Chain A
Amino acid sequence: MSIAPEIRYRFMKDIGAPLVMGMAGLKGKRKAAIKRDVPLGPPLKCSKRLKEIMTRHYFLSRYAEGARPVAWVTSGAPVELLRAFDFYTVYPENHGALCGAQKLGPELCSIAEGHGYNQDLCSYARIDIGVCLSGKTPVGRLPRPDILFASNNICQTVMYWYRVLAHHWKIPLMVFDTPFNFVSLDRSAITYMVRQFEEMIPELERISGRKFSEKKFKEVLRLGKSSAMAWGEVLATMKTVPSPMTIFDAFVHLAPIVSLRGLPVTLEYYNVLLSELKDRVSKGIGAIVNERKRLMWDNIAIWYKIRDFSRLFAERGMNFVTATYTNAWAETISYMDERNPMESLAKAYSLVILNNNLDHRLKLMERLIKEYQVDGLVIHSARSCKPYSVGQYDLKRLLMERLAVPSVVIEADITDFRAYSEEQTTTRLEAFFENIEDGG
């Protein structure tokens, strides 16, 4: 690493970033003063802090190039290993969600489509490829990566998507291959995964130019585990009636555990969020004004509809209090154990919801429905995410048979709203509302 980028990075980190963060906070304040949503309770105070953290993350990433080794990482990859080498990490999926929320999905997707990528391909992948090909992004600029780090524990698409990125950036792609968990994880699968970590270390040393430090790695594991547990506690506050936050809030506050996992700022942030939520619980403050029905969400968020949906449901006194999606970052990361780092890392990442069998998912949903006192279930069949959407009709039927929970499937996409039909979705949701009101 040369000296100039290093100095520039440090300058931006210490002086530039705090300035930008201050500005981001101010902007939020102005907006909050204008907008008061009637069916919604008071907004979370720490949303301002979250905005600062994420703005800083994307702002600093521009200056990381040359100063720190840079990796682009899939949401389910064991990033803890990279953190031990001080990689600056960028999450194309998180960036895709951000573009989706700003309603930029179709525009960025169509750039990739213009280069021959099919509309049936995941829209996170199309957005990311579109960004690489055009340089367009709402965050200013994404840093050029030195390495790509992917795991197939979330889908097989990432294998092809990241190969395209490797070809585009002419850089190495490192893959963590996780055997699918059909019944239970056997010894040979664990050994297979631990061997992969052992092979990765010298490669990562070469690319980053830094020596592997076991001490630092263990510290990262400890931080990652604690953050995931804090995130779990954050979600658990939603068991309270009325729930102090909605799942739409949680979709947004999920960003640090996805993209900044294993860093001190994440743990610190979730502790702040947790104390605000506990305070709300003790004062009986709900996220929506009149919580009459409690719902569960299945699958990734429909990013461009978060605001509309949060209002639509709140107006009817319906609050989403749990989701399989937000739960995913609280479920297995806590398996990480610094006393047995490699093996526990393998377990934490191979047993995630999308790499696990449908029976596991059914039991998980049953548990969440009971623990969070859920009255109804909204299932998002996401055109982009096949591994998440497969089996949903069976799960719906089984949950109806076992727990008599009314449910509805809405077909949409995570970011590409060309695959979303307002009229059709409204009809389905209204029929669902009638159904749930009818049930008492």
Chain B
Amino acid sequence: MKGWVIGIDVGSLTTDAVIMDEDKRVLSFSIVDTGYNSTDAAREAMTVAAGRAGLELEDVSRLVATGYGRAAVPEANKRVTEIACHAAGAVYLFPDTEMVIDIGGQDSKVIKVGKDGRVQDFVMNDKCAAGTGRFLEVMSAKLKIPLDGMGDISISARGEAAISSVCTVFAESEVVSLVARNCPKEEIVKGIHRSVVNRVWAMTRQLRVSGGVTMTGGVAKNRGVVALMEERVGRRINVPDEPQIVGALGAALFALREK
């Protein structure tokens, strides 16, 4: 097969690859841990994805890299920011998207997009891990609940603990004292989710978007966070089946665009 492309997103936690054909059909994807060496992780993600699609990596016609480690992919024909990639990927999956909320491992961003998938404006968290995946990771370790189990646990909560601090480190000590006071786990988790949502909500308000909202990034897999975010924005939020690969998907779309 000819003319297929790869989009690769080298993030702080995972490195994701998406293979797409000329007709914008996704042939395969992969998600691997970034680990210590971004270049190796990128290579592994591409090899895995190519293997799944039954393709030889050497036959790729174009490669676009995105994410914090995009400079670590020497084979890339082009590098695009994850802001543009998440916007393009989200509009591809949900054409009604006007706002993308991407909560990733080390940052969160809210992007306003036009109908054509172009970025109109964006806001990002700054110099602080509150409101990001890292915040949830720290809390999951502290509570000894697996990261992917946090969403389900919080859904069952009847009440909600108040986490007042906006700082990850201070919030961690708040959680410690809630645990010491025997506060039910699910209520603590719901409080943690609320804290992330409130942080990101403040960013969404700056962009004043009234249309469709799509959530991307690993945290979109957390049902608890999505439910609270929907409550905040007052409408249903589009969540992709694989929210983690939206950046790589966008990168693949850029690779096709410039072929």
Q: Chain A: residues with CB nearer than 8 A to chain B?
A: 393, 397, 400, 407, 409, 411, 419, 421, 423-424, 427-428, 430-431, 434-435, 438
Q: Chain B: residues with CB nearer than 8 A to chain A?
A: 68, 80-84, 107, 118-124, 126-127, 206, 208
Interface centre among A407, A424, A431, A434 (most CB of B within 10 A): A431
CA distance A435 to B81 in the complex (A): 11
CA distance A54 to B208 in the complex (A): 47
What are 18 A-B interface contacts by the 8 Å CB criterion?
Answer: A393-B206, A397-B206, A407-B121, A411-B127, A419-B127, A421-B126, A423-B68, A424-B126, A427-B81, A427-B83, A427-B124, A431-B83, A431-B122, A434-B80, A434-B83, A434-B84, A435-B118, A435-B119
Q: Which 5 residue pairs across A and B have the least CB separation, nearest first? A: A431-B83, A431-B81, A411-B126, A430-B81, A434-B84
> For residue A400, which residues in chain B have a CB less than 8 angstroms away from its CB?
120-121
CA distance A95 to B21 in the complex (A): 59
> For residue B107, which residues in chain A have a CB less than 8 angstroms away from its CB?
424
- Give min CB distance, A99 to chain B, whole Å: 23
CA distance A421 to B118 in the complex (A): 26
CA distance A427 to B80 in the complex (A): 10
Q: Are A421 and B84 in contact (CB under 8 A)?
A: no
CA distance A212 to B148 in the complex (A): 77
CA distance A400 to B82 in the complex (A): 22
Interface centre among B80, B82, B126 (most CB of A within 10 A): B126
Interface majority SS on A: helix, strand, loop or mixed? Answer: helix
Q: Are A434 and B127 in contact (CB under 8 A)?
A: no
CA distance A400 to B208 in the complex (A): 12
> For residue A431, which residues in chain B have a CB less than 8 angstroms away from its CB?
81, 83-84, 119, 122
Q: Are B126 and A427 in contact (CB under 8 A)?
A: no
> For residue B123, which residues in chain A have a CB less than 8 angstroms away from its CB?
409
Given known pairs A397-B208, A411-B126, A421-B127, the reply for A427 and B119 (CB within 8 Å) is no
Interface majority SS on B: helix, strand, loop or mixed? Answer: mixed
Query: Closest residue of chain A to B124, judged by CB?
Result: A428
Interface centre among B82, B83, B118, B123 (most CB of A within 10 A): B83
- Give min CB distance, A194 to chain B, whole Å: 42
Query: Closest residue of chain B to A411, judged by CB?
Result: B126
- Give min CB distance, A123 to chain B, whole Å: 16
> For residue A397, which residues in chain B have a CB less than 8 angstroms away from its CB?
206, 208
Query: Closest residue of chain A to B111, judged by CB?
Result: A431
> For residue A428, which residues in chain B have a CB less than 8 angstroms away from its CB?
124
Q: Are B127 and A427 in contact (CB under 8 A)?
A: no
Interface centre among A400, A411, A423, A434 (most CB of B within 10 A): A434
Cross-interface CB contact of B68 among A407, A411, A427, A434, cutoff 8 Å: A427
CA distance A392 to B127 in the complex (A): 19
- Give min CB distance, B38 to chain A, whole Å: 13
Q: Are A427 and B82 in contact (CB under 8 A)?
A: yes
> For residue A438, which residues in chain B have a CB less than 8 angstroms away from its CB?
118-119
> For residue A427, which residues in chain B have a CB less than 8 angstroms away from its CB?
68, 81-83, 124
CA distance A397 to B121 in the complex (A): 9
- Give min CB distance, A397 to chain B, whole Å: 7
> For residue B206, which residues in chain A have a CB less than 8 angstroms away from its CB?
393, 397
Query: Closest residue of chain A to B67, judged by CB?
Result: A427
Q: Are A434 and B81 in contact (CB under 8 A)?
A: yes
Query: Closest residue of chain A to B122, judged by CB?
Result: A431
CA distance A435 to B80 in the complex (A): 11
> For residue A393, which residues in chain B have a CB less than 8 angstroms away from its CB?
206
CA distance A427 to B85 in the complex (A): 12
Given A411-B126, A435-B118, 10 more A-B residue pairs with CB atoms under 8 Å apart are: A393-B206, A397-B208, A409-B123, A419-B127, A421-B126, A424-B126, A424-B127, A428-B124, A431-B122, A438-B118
CA distance A227 to B84 in the complex (A): 46
> For residue A409, which residues in chain B have a CB less than 8 angstroms away from its CB?
123
> For residue A419, which residues in chain B have a CB less than 8 angstroms away from its CB?
127
> For residue B84, which residues in chain A have a CB less than 8 angstroms away from its CB?
431, 434
CA distance A400 to B123 in the complex (A): 14
CA distance A393 to B122 in the complex (A): 11
Given known pairs A393-B206, A397-B208, the reply for A434 and B124 (CB within 8 Å) is no
- Give min CB distance, B68 to chain A, whole Å: 7
- Give min CB distance, A431 to chain B, whole Å: 4
CA distance A42 to B206 in the complex (A): 42
> For residue B121, which residues in chain A have a CB less than 8 angstroms away from its CB?
400, 407
Query: Closest residue of chain A to B119, judged by CB?
Result: A435
CA distance A434 to B119 in the complex (A): 9
> For residue B124, which residues in chain A have a CB less than 8 angstroms away from its CB?
424, 427-428
Query: Closest residue of chain A to B80, judged by CB?
Result: A434
- Give min CB distance, B60 to chain A, whole Å: 23
- Give min CB distance, B103 to chain A, whole Å: 15
> For residue B208, which residues in chain A have a CB less than 8 angstroms away from its CB?
397
CA distance A356 to B117 in the complex (A): 39
> For residue B122, which residues in chain A have a CB less than 8 angstroms away from its CB?
431
CA distance A434 to B250 in the complex (A): 14
- Give min CB distance, B39 to chain A, whole Å: 17
> For residue B81, which residues in chain A have a CB less than 8 angstroms away from its CB?
427, 430-431, 434
CA distance A397 to B208 in the complex (A): 9
